[in-house]
Structure 1
C-alpha cells in the first residue's frame, strides 16, 4: 500500500489515468486505484517480487513501449510501474499546457511518448534511521520521501528556524518544509511534469516550458539520437541527451558494460553468483530470489498458475505453454504487428516474439553479459532491433587494452559497439566510433 500523507496532494485532484496495457481501456482518476489495477496485470503474468524467466516471458504490453527484458522479473515490474507514474506526469503536463494556451505545443511527435527510462534498482530511501524496505513503484517511493519532509517538526512561530535535510551524507539546511521537499528531488531524481506529446520528463514547469519554446523558436528537430530516435532542436541538446546512453563500467568477469555501479552489481548478482539462499520447504529446490521460489511453490499447489489478463476472459491454466497458446489463438488479433525483423522483414505483434525469432532464426546475440535486445521505432512506424551501444572513452581505452593485437578501434569520447550477427567474431566488438561530447 502507498505511504500515507496528511497533506492534501496535487495528485488527489481528478485525473484521467488511462491504462494502455494490451487491449485494456480502463481509466481511473486516482493514482492508488490506477496502480492497483496495473498490479493486477502483473499478477496475471505471475510477476510479483522479482526473479528470472526465459527471454520469451518479459515483454511489456504497454502501447508503443516495446520494452523486452530477460534480466529479471523485478526489473520488469519496476518498468511497468514507471508507466503508471509517467502517465500521471503526462496528465499534469496536459493540464499545464491547457493553462498556458499561448506557449505552443510539442512537435517532436508521439512515437516516443511511452518510452520510459531503464530502472536498474528498486527505489531506496536513504533518510536517516528510515526502515522503509525498497520499493518497486516510483509513485509510492516519492510519496514516502515527501512524507519525511512534511513530518519535520517546525514550530510555526519560529520562521528563522532552519530545517536540515536528513538524507544520508547531506548537511543542507532550508527555511521550511516546502524548500526541503524541493531539495529532496535532487536526491531522488523525482520529476514533476511530463510532455503529453513526446513523453519527456522535467524537474519543474520552467524546464517544461523551455522544452516547448525551443521547438517554436528553432525550425524543425534536425538532430536525431541514433540510439533511441528522439529528436532535438540543437546539436548541444542531442549531445547532452546522448550521454545518458553511454556505459562507464565493465564487469570484471565478462564483457558486460553498464551505465551505473548499481546495474553492474545487479548483473554480477544474477549472472555470476552461485548463491541460492531461497529454499523450498517441501522439496530440495533452491534459487537466487524470492520470485523464483514463489513460482516454484506453485508446482506444489492445485490452483491455476496462469490467468488470462484480457478483460472478460476467464481462461486459467497450470501451463506456461498453454497460456501462450491461448494468447496466440484467442487474442492475437488484438495486437498490431509493429515489430519487424531487419534481416528478413518478418513482422511480430510483440517484442518478445521478435526476440525469439532473432535468436533462433538468425542466431543473433549480444556479446557475453548482454542478454537483452532493445527495439526502436523507425520512420515507417515499425520497431526494429537497436544495433549499437556506446561506451565512455575511459571504458573504451580499458577495453582496447584488454583486446588481443589486431582488434583495434577508434574513439574520441565514446565507442559505438554493434550487436553481433551470425558468423561474426565475438572479439570484434568495436567496429567504428561516435563522438558524444
Structure 2
C-alpha cells in the first residue's frame, strides 16, 4: 500500500533520498557504494542492472532482436531502436544553445558542444593523441590494440567501432537512410552525407586564412596551410 499512498519510510544515510520499500533503498545505495554485481561473460564490463548486462552482451554475440518497421535496421536494445527511428521521423529533440544544431540524442549534443571549444581532456597513453570525449579516446585506442569488439550478426566480420559496423551492415541490408535534399544522393552514414554535401554543393567548411581555398576536412586544411608555411612534417 505504501507504493500507492506515496509514503517513503526508508531513508538513505548518505543523502536525502527516501524509498517506499527496502528493495528500492538497497538498489539506490549502489549509487554511493559503486557496487556492480552483474558481470559480462566476455569482457570486464560490469553493471548494477541485469538488463544492462543483457543489452551489453549483444555487442559480443551480434544478436539484434529489435526490428525497425521502416527499414531493415535491427537493434540490440529497444532504446537503440527508438533512437534509430528518429532517422525516419526527423525528430531531433536536443538543441544546442550556441548554434542551430539539433541532435537525436543527449550524448550527441554533449559531443557536439565540445566542437565550440578546443578542450581535449582525454589523452592516449601510447601516442600524443588527445580526444574531446572518452568515446573518441576509446575508439582511437583500438588502433593500437587492434581490438574489434563489434560483431556482425550476419557474417564473421568484426569492427573496431559501432560506426564501422554500421557501415558494414549496409552490405547486407542495402540501407542508406541519409538523403541529400539537393540531389537525392543517399548514404550509409551521416558523415559520408556531410562530406558529399560539402564537396558537391556547398564547398569546404574549413577556410584558409591566407587565400580562398576551402577544405572539406580539418586535416585537409592543415595540409593545405603547409603550402603557405613551407612546413614539411614528413
TM-score per shorter chain, which class? Answer: 0.3 to 0.5
Which structure shows the higher helix fraction?
2
TM-score by length of 2: 0.39
Q: Which structure would you say has the larger RCO, counting Cα contacts within 8 Å and 6 or more residues apart?
A: 1
- TM-score, length-scaled by structure 1: 0.24
